[in-house]
Amino acid sequence: MDIPIDCLIRAGRHDTVDALKEYAGHRLSFTLRRFVHRIRRVNVRLVDLNGPRRGVDSRCSIVAELTDGGQLFVDAIAAWPFAAITRAASRLSEAMRREGDRHAEHRVGSAPASRHHDEGRRRTS
């Protein structure tokens, strides 16, 4: 994927940081491949909320900087850091889809009225 992905990981053991970065890159490449033309950069932050204590404590936050200057933010909390990355990546994909739908709806709604009027007058032979 041609999108720069910056990762800040403060979760898991020291020996798993590289694996988490690699997983985040693969997961985001897969889930965002159809939106690559609309994304300038992706920032991933993974934090262990409870430290060494157990529980639902891995939080993955993702900010996508869009080519139009906007940003999308999503986050997810899960017991395992890999699951938090997966959930956040899925949420970002869904947010990108919704954002695209909004833009498409806006473009369709702004079509000139005369065009729609002329289409209604076409004859069929």
14-62 pLDDT, tens digit per residue, is: 778 889 999 999 999 999 999 999 999 999 999 988 776 666 689 999 9
Q: Which domains does the chain have, with CATH numbers?
A: 5-111 (3.30.160.100)
What predicted TM-score, i.e. pTM, was given to this entire model? 0.76
Query: Would you report the helix, strand and coil content of the chain in percent, each value rounded to 5?
Result: 50, 25, 25
Return d(Cα 107, Cα 64) in angstroms, integer: 23
Return d(Cα 92, Cα 100) in angstroms, integer: 12
Say what the pLDDT of residue 114 is: 44
Strand partners, 74: 62
The two counts, helices (H) then strands (E), for the chain are 3, 4
Return d(Cα 96, Cα 64) in angstroms, integer: 9
- Over residues 59-105, the pLDDT tens digits come to 999 999 999 999 999 999 998 899 999 999 999 999 999 987 666 55
